[in-house]
């Protein structure tokens, strides 16, 4: 049976450096995905992931177990992502093909064919839709964007989101409603054209 995150934290605090490596291996794909979806730049997402785990290593003794380790880790990730976005000058964004983000740890760069409907036209339509959706998500204000990403892509519950973002579940629901409505409005014209 795999040790829990909290058990690994205790082992690390007792001097077992290997426990930290296990924590990094366990959580790095998810942290990288959150960073990728937030900043839309693979290199910056890698830097963010490294910075997150450097901070975790430095401050692990301060983790008080008042919340789950993953909740604490997401808080750090969110802070590092927001800091990176504040520092970054406005540059053209590098869009990452959806299969590269979805297949972190497998064979990145290789699209997974879902069914027999694969055709150049369908591929182009999917790529265009993906670009429009990513652009719409990128245009959300920071807190709405992060709430949406953690709920829709990382599948955090309302309770987990409230802990990570330090607000009430009602606030989370309100933010998600606003984010979804904003996205619906931004994508409405595009989707009504038949794609």
Mean pLDDT over residues 34-55, rounded?
94
Q: Tell me what the pLDDT averaged over the chain comes to.
A: 83
Average pLDDT on 72-76 reads 93
Q: Does the pLDDT value for residue 40 go beyond 50?
A: yes
Cα distances (Å, whole numbers) of residue 74 to 52, 113, 160, 183, 184 = 9, 31, 10, 24, 27
CA distance 177 to 136: 15
Predicted pLDDT at 88: 76
Residue 101 has pLDDT above 70, yes or no: no
What's the predicted TM-score (pTM) here? 0.67
Least confident segment among 9-13, 148-152, 167-171, 185-189: 185-189
Q: Determine the Cα–Cα distance for residues 161 and 146; give it in Å rounded to an integer.
A: 10
Q: Which two tokens stand for residue 27?
A: 């959580």
26-35, 36-45, 118-127: segment of lowest average pLDDT: 118-127
Q: How far lies 184's CA from each of 8, 50, 122, 142, 146, in Å?
A: 42, 34, 22, 18, 17
CATH class name, domain 113-195: mainly alpha
Identify the weakest region by mean pLDDT among 32-36, 129-133, 172-176.
129-133
> What are the residue ranges spanned by the domains of the chain?
1-98, 113-195
Give the domain 1-98 fold. Rna Polymerase Sigma Factor; Chain: A (1.10.1740)
Tokens 């997401």, located at residue: 74
**108-162: per-residue pLDDT in tens?**
444 444 454 567 877 787 888 888 888 889 889 989 999 999 999 888 899 999 9
CA 100, CA 175: separation in Å to the nearest integer?
28
Which has more pLDDT, 80 or 88?
Answer: 80
Residues with Cβ within 8 Å of 162's Cβ and at least 6 positions away in sequence, in order, are 168, 169, 171, 172
In a 13 Å sphere around the CA of 125, the CA atoms on its Cβ side amount to 11
């Amino acid at each position: 049976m795999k040790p829990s995150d909290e058990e690994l934290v205790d082992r690390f605090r007792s001097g077992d450096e290997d426990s930290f490596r296990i924590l990094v291996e366990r959580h790095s794909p998810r942290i990288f995905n959150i960073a990728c979806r937030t900043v839309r730049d693979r290199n910056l997402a890698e830097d963010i992931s490294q910075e997150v785990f450097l901070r975790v290593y430095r401050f692990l003794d301060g983790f008080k177990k008042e919340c789950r380790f993953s909740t604490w880790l997401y808080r750090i990730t969110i802070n590092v992502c927001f800091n990176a976005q504040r520092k970054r000058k406005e540059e053209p964004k590098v869009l990452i093909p959806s299969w590269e983000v979805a297949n972190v740890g497998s064979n990145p760069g290789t699209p997974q064919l879902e069914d027999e409907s694969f055709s150049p036209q369908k591929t182009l339509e999917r790529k265009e839709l993906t670009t429009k959706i990513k652009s719409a998500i990128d245009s959300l204000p920071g807190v709405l964007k992060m709430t949406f990403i953690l709920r829709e892509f990382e599948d955090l519950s309302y309770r987990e989101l409230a802990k990570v973002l330090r607000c009430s579940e009602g606030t989370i629901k309100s933010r998600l409603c606003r984010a979804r409505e904003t996205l619906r409005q931004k994508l409405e014209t595009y989707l009504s054209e038949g794609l």
